[in-house]
Amino acid sequence: MRAYIASTGFHVPPNRVTNFDLVTRYGIDTTNEWIVQRTGIEARHFSADGEGTADIALPAARDAIARAGLEAGDIDLIVFATLSPEHAFPGSGCVLQALLGLPGVPAMDVRNQCSGFLYALASAKGFVESGMAKNVLVVGGEKHSAALDLTTAGRAVACLFGDGAGAVVVRGTKDSEPNKDRGIHWMNLGADGRYADALTQKVWDNRKSPFIWKDPETGKNVVKPEMMWCQMDGKLVFKNAVEKMILSVVGMCMENKIEPSDLDLVVCHQANMRINEYVRDQLGLPPEKVPNNIQKYGNTTAATIPILLAELERDGRLKSGMKVALVGFGSGFTWGSAYIIW
């Protein structure tokens, strides 16, 4: 038996925020041209106040479950990848489980940021192929908007991120499967914690007591700006992202005895259009084989790959029998790749 992705689903909040909106609605000193030139992003979606990460993920999860021909009660494991859970604890997986009405079904969070979906998919593959689960709901969901410094001071990061969720149902192939090669054939994961501080949002540091600094004069706990907002060494992230993503795909091809040109699609994490274009060019692939949707949604972190898979499947660019590579890189540093026959 081989694990395979049986269906996809996605959801983004209806509130679409363009680059022009960042200037006019939020007063950020930037331009559409500046953002597009450096990132490829034209818009993103922000959720409403009071809406949490699991709320955003719920429609995506229901979409994927329905498209798999299942009911919510058929799900026997939830794996939720996110860096933006509702609280420090419990995890968003348990919150989503309650929203789906599935008491007793195991739920776990995966905290590997932009690589989170790939780590979650690898977990689901292991559960299915070991026989520990039959129908695994894998979700990548984020609510970034609540943790963005939407001022000129935070513009370098604020323009990058959006809210959204993607989901897939992972099942096991059967002997009667018409597409005998269907499934997740190979996965590889990696990490290098030496660069943990190059892309981080510390917000609280439990190495210190108290973990959120207390002002001795007012007695109030205060989160300092350098702890509150995401901090990123953009050049270092870019360099490592292109290196690890290219090596991941090349290594994947070597392990599976194929050439990059044999791939029908390479679905990259949507962090920056320029990163993906560089990866594409170094692999010698045409633009149609390395699709992007970052221009519409920005970086939705753990949600980017499943959202893009869902869109590709909906518009007919992702079809049964295709050879597909998934590849991502993010904070940690972490990275991963997968070779799938759809």
For 32, 135, 230, 294, the CA distances from 299, given in Å and listed in that order, are: 16, 28, 13, 6
* Integer Cα distance of 166 and 142 in angstroms: 9
Six-digit token string for 111: 């905290």
Which stretch of DSSP H or E encloses residue 29? none
Contacting residues for 119 by C-beta, under 8 A, at least 6 apart: 81, 110, 112, 189, 334, 336
Q: Active site includes 299?
A: yes
Angle formed by the axes of helices 32-39 and 273-283, nearest 10°: 30
Q: Contact 246/307 with Cβ under 8 angstroms?
A: no
Longest dimension (CA), the chain: 71
Q: What are phi and psi of 73, to 5 degrees?
A: -65, -15
Count CB atoms within 10 A of the CB of residue 65: 23
Pairing of strands 136-142, 77-81: parallel
**Sole residue written with tokens 């499943």:** 306
Q: Active site includes 114?
A: yes
The C-alpha angle 195, 81, 14, rounded to 5 degrees, equals 110
* Integer Cα distance of 151 and 1 in angstroms: 51
* Integer Cα distance of 340 and 323 in angstroms: 6
Which residue out of 144, 240, 269, 276 is catalytically annotated?
269
* Integer Cα distance of 107 and 105 in angstroms: 6
Which residue out of 188, 240, 292, 299 is catalytically annotated?
299
Which stretch of DSSP H or E encloses residue 285? none
Q: What are phi and psi of 331, to 5 degrees?
A: -55, 145
Which residue out of 94, 114, 159, 268 is catalytically annotated?
114
Cis peptide before 127 (omega within 30 of 0): no
Catalytic residues: 114, 269, 299
